[in-house]
Amino acid sequence: MAHSDIPVIAIDGPSASGKGTVAQRVAATLGFHFLDSGALYRLLGLAAQQRGIDLADEGGLAQLALQMDIRFEGESIWLYDALVGDELRSEQTAAAASQVAALPAVRAALLDKQRAFRQAPGLVADGRDMASVVFTDAVCKVFLTASAEARAERRYKQLIGKGMDANIAALLQEIRLRDERDSQRSVAPLQMAPGATLLDTTPLSIEQAVAEVLARYRAASKES
């Protein structure tokens, strides 16, 4: 199968919209590979902090992005030779990821790493610019969102479920701030790509959202 024939389902949207869970389940149902592109930005934020690289040092961060040794094995993520745990999902790491993601040289440096996930029989890629930048030829492009309140509540439950500390008002504020930073930045801002369709999951269960993405993918594959 030629590289460009390998189907990609691009799922973009704001943080805590549930797209990670939905994308993972869609990938599992189809037997496709899965790319959590946000994890790459989070890993870079973590690696920079471990190495004392300033989060505004664009050149140093881009260099680190190119060299960074990461491995995804099922549910496990390795950064150099260390297994990355819950710190990947912490609010502190999310804030670092959002900062490094605003730097054009960092985004460019991570392009090849992301495209390398496109392998037969297919890929489900989750992020902010999967449809608009990384996989512009994706066969199915979904912009998945939910209200900020619904997202804060989902994140709250997720953190409490993991035994982590959480405050719903602070989470809502953090989500609004991050949305603003992610949608205002000059490079690859969070926005719906041409050809993408909107899926608002505020009233939907995860199962309903998964079924909807699968239906859109099947309809798009028939057309192409």
In whole angstroms, how close is the CB of 151 to ligand DC at the nearest point?
Answer: 10
- Alpha carbon distance 165, 157 (integer Å): 10
In whole angstroms, how close is the CB of 191 to ligand DC at the nearest point?
Answer: 12
Asked whether position 141 contacts ligand DC by CB under 6 A, the answer is no
- Alpha carbon distance 193, 10 (integer Å): 10
Q: Which CB atom, from 38 or from 122, has the smaller least distance to ligand DC? A: 38
Asked whether position 201 contacts ligand DC by CB under 6 A, the answer is no
Asked whether position 33 contacts ligand DC by CB under 6 A, the answer is no
Asked whether position 17 contacts ligand DC by CB under 6 A, the answer is no
In whole angstroms, how close is the CB of 135 to ligand DC at the nearest point?
Answer: 10
In whole angstroms, how close is the CB of 96 to ligand DC at the nearest point?
Answer: 9
Among 8, 23, 94, 193, indicate the residue that binds ligand DC (CB under 6 A): 94
Among 61, 182, 209, 220, indicate the residue that binds ligand DC (CB under 6 A): 182
- Alpha carbon distance 130, 9 (integer Å): 9
What are the phi and psi torsion angles at 17 (to 5°)? Answer: -80, -10
Among 129, 174, 179, 212, indicate the residue that binds ligand DC (CB under 6 A): 129
- In this structure, how many other beta carbons lie within 10 angstroms of the beta carbon of residue 203? 9
- Alpha carbon distance 193, 205 (integer Å): 24
Among 25, 33, 128, 141, indicate the residue that binds ligand DC (CB under 6 A): 128
Q: Which CB atom, from 37 or from 145, has the smaller least distance to ligand DC? A: 37
Asked whether position 98 contacts ligand DC by CB under 6 A, the answer is yes
- Coil vs helix vs strand at 118: coil
Q: Which CB atom, from 34 or from 41, has the smaller least distance to ligand DC? A: 41
Cβ proximity of 162 and 86 under 8 Å: yes
Report the half-sphere exposure of 64 (CA within 13 A, side-chain side). 26
Cβ proximity of 26 and 216 under 8 Å: no
- Coil vs helix vs strand at 124: strand
Q: Which residues bind ligand DC (CB under 6 A)?
A: 15, 37-38, 41-42, 94, 97-98, 101, 127-129, 178, 182
